[in-house]
Amino acid sequence: MGQGDDPFGGGDDPFGAAGSDTAKEEGASEPLDEDAQAIEKLISEQVQKLANEERERRLEYMQIVMDDIIRLCRLGEPEQGRLELAAKGATKRSMERWHEQADRYFRNRVQDTDPATAQEILGNIGGVTFSGRASEGDSEVEELWKEALSAALTEAQLHTYETVVEERSRARIHSFAQMSLATIDDYLRLTPEQREQIGEIVHDSATNYLDQIQKYWGEYLQKGMLMSLANAADEETLAEILSEAQHARLKSATSSLDHFWKQRHKARKEEEEKRKKEAEAQDKAATPQAAAPEPAAVGEGPIAGDAEAEAVPVAGGGRVRIKAGGEGAVIIRPGAIFKGGDVIIEGKEIHIEGDIQVE
């Protein structure tokens, strides 16, 4: 690859009119009639038009990000050029998801219509972001962009930039949590103690869910949306903090957003169960296993007397073994003491050397 070549370019633009070829290929075995072909063309043109607008919006956002990095890290032209190529590549990749969603969205809107109706419907559809204004930042979270940053910046420059980004994130979380708390306080008239407790809940909620909230709700937040951060806590916790009237008033104001928090509660519960099972498995693995049962023989005490060994033929075969009581199996040894209930002797022949005591 020569210097200045775009590593993310080449080939056809996947967001152009050819972007709707997937549906055409799927239906290639059955030629489309004239109306269907006309609708396909309308969809393709609409996707192309809005994709261009969406891509430009995302590139404008990435330009702000690049300017920020250039100022903070004092980058020269070569580094700036590499960042610009990376920004274009990350934006192109992030647009793939938008294109899939847009194509599916438009097809659903014009399903079972004629070309004239489809044209009217598509003409009345404005820009489509699917994730609110927050979607413009999708390029910044692409792995391609993160890898490019690591390659373009020195370790010190990357540390400087990441430190500033983390500070902004903490300030953003704090501001959002304070705005949420102020709204709840104004609506429910919290006591100082309640304010402190609810403040902890909404701050934790903003820390864990703020990115999801802004993608889900967009940038225009209503009072109920802000207050619903308290619903990150379970019902029992809120009932202990708030009075019955306050609790009912909060639930009424935020009920339209219950589904959002129910999904998060379910995911959190599943994650807790997973961690619990993993911890139990680790504890079990770390616990020493019980030793196998000892044979029924107990010790090898002194030989009592001087009785001669005697050969006793027994039906069966194999070495002589004595099973006493439990599951233990033993071989007769001189002076062995066997404890148990009934003693069973099995073998072709039994050789006894010395006195054998059976208890």
Q: What is the pLDDT of residues 282-340, one digit of tens each?
A: 888 887 765 554 443 333 333 233 323 333 333 443 333 444 344 444 445 555 554 44
Rounded distance, CA 133 to CA 218, Å? Answer: 6
Query: Containing domain of residue 74, as a range?
Result: 17-153
Residue 161 pLDDT > 60, yes or no?
yes
Q: Are residues 105 and 205 in the same domain?
A: no
- Judge residue 216's burial from the number of C-beta atoms within 10 Å of its C-beta, 0-12 exposed, 13-18 middle, 19 or more buried: middle
Query: Are 316 and 220 contained in the same domain?
Result: no
Pair (200, 258) in one structural domain: yes
pLDDT of residue 239: 95
Percentage of the chain lying above the pLDDT 70 cut: 67
What confidence score (pLDDT) does residue 104 get? 86
More confident residue, 12 or 84: 84
Question: What is the per-residue pLDDT for 120?
Answer: 83
Residue 48 confidence class, pLDDT cut points 50, 70, 90: confident
Residue 31 inside a domain? The answer is yes
Same domain, 137 and 30: yes
22-36, 221-235, 316-330, range with greatest mean pLDDT: 221-235
Q: Give domain status of residue 35, yes or no.
A: yes
Give residue for tokens 């910044």: 140
User: Are 94 and 32 in the same domain?
Assistant: yes
According to DSSP, the residues that pair with 344 across neighbouring strands are: 323
* Sign of the alpha-carbon torsion through 213, 219, 225, 226: positive
Do 23 and 142 sit in the same domain of this protein?
yes
- Is the pTM higher than 0.85? The answer reads no
Strand positions, DSSP E, the chain: 297-300, 311-313, 321-324, 336-338, 343-346, 349-351, 357-358
Q: What is the pLDDT of residues 250-273, one digit of tens each?
A: 999 999 888 889 999 999 899 989
Mean pLDDT in residue range 337-358: 50
- Of the residues 88, 119, 153, the one at which a domain ends: 153
Same domain, 313 and 225: no
The three-state secondary structure class of 127 is: coil
pLDDT at residue 205, as a whole number: 95
**Average confidence score pLDDT of the chain:** 74
6 is a domain residue:
no
- Residue 341 amino acid letter: G
Residue 223 near residue 187, CB atoms below 8 Å: yes
Q: Judge residue 335's burial from the number of C-beta atoms within 10 Å of its C-beta, 0-12 exposed, 13-18 middle, 19 or more buried.
A: middle
Does residue 65 lie within any of the structural domains? Answer: yes
Say how far apart CA 144 and CA 24 lie, in whole Å. Answer: 30
pLDDT tier, 8 (very low <50, low <70, confident <90, very high otherwise): very low
> Is the pLDDT score of 172 beyond 60?
yes
Do 194 and 261 have their domain in common?
yes
Domain count for the chain, please give it. Answer: 3
- Judged against a pLDDT cut of 60, whether residue 235 lies above it is answered with yes
Q: Based on the fold, state whether residues 35 and 127 are members of the same structural domain.
A: yes
pLDDT at 232 over 90: yes
- Predicted confidence (pLDDT) at residue 204 exceeds the cutoff of 90: yes
Are 121 and 46 contacting, i.e. CB atoms less than 8 angstroms apart? Answer: no
Quick check: 152 and 97 in contact, CB under 8 A? no
Token output for 46: 């609409």
Let me know if residue 324 belongs to a domain. Answer: yes
φ/ψ (deg, to 5) at 346: -130, 140
**pLDDT > 60? residue 354:** no
Where does a domain end: 286, 315, 332? Answer: 286
Q: Of 108, 134, 153, which marks where a domain is finished?
A: 153
- Please choose, from the candidates 292, 295, 291, 294, the residue with its C-alpha nearest in 3D space to the C-alpha of residue 343: 295
Are residues 169 and 281 both part of a single domain? yes
**Is the pLDDT at 12 greater than 70, yes or no?**
no
1, part of any domain: no
Cα gap 144→319, rounded to integer Å: 71
Are the C-beta atoms of residues 161 and 69 closer than 8 Å to each other? yes
The pLDDT score that the predictor gives to residue 358 is 52
Residue owning tokens 């616990």: 287
User: Tell me: the pLDDT tens digits for 66-100?
Assistant: 999 999 988 888 888 888 888 888 888 888 888 88
Token look-up 């000892």 returns 294
For the stretch 31-46, pLDDT in tens is 567 888 888 888 888 8
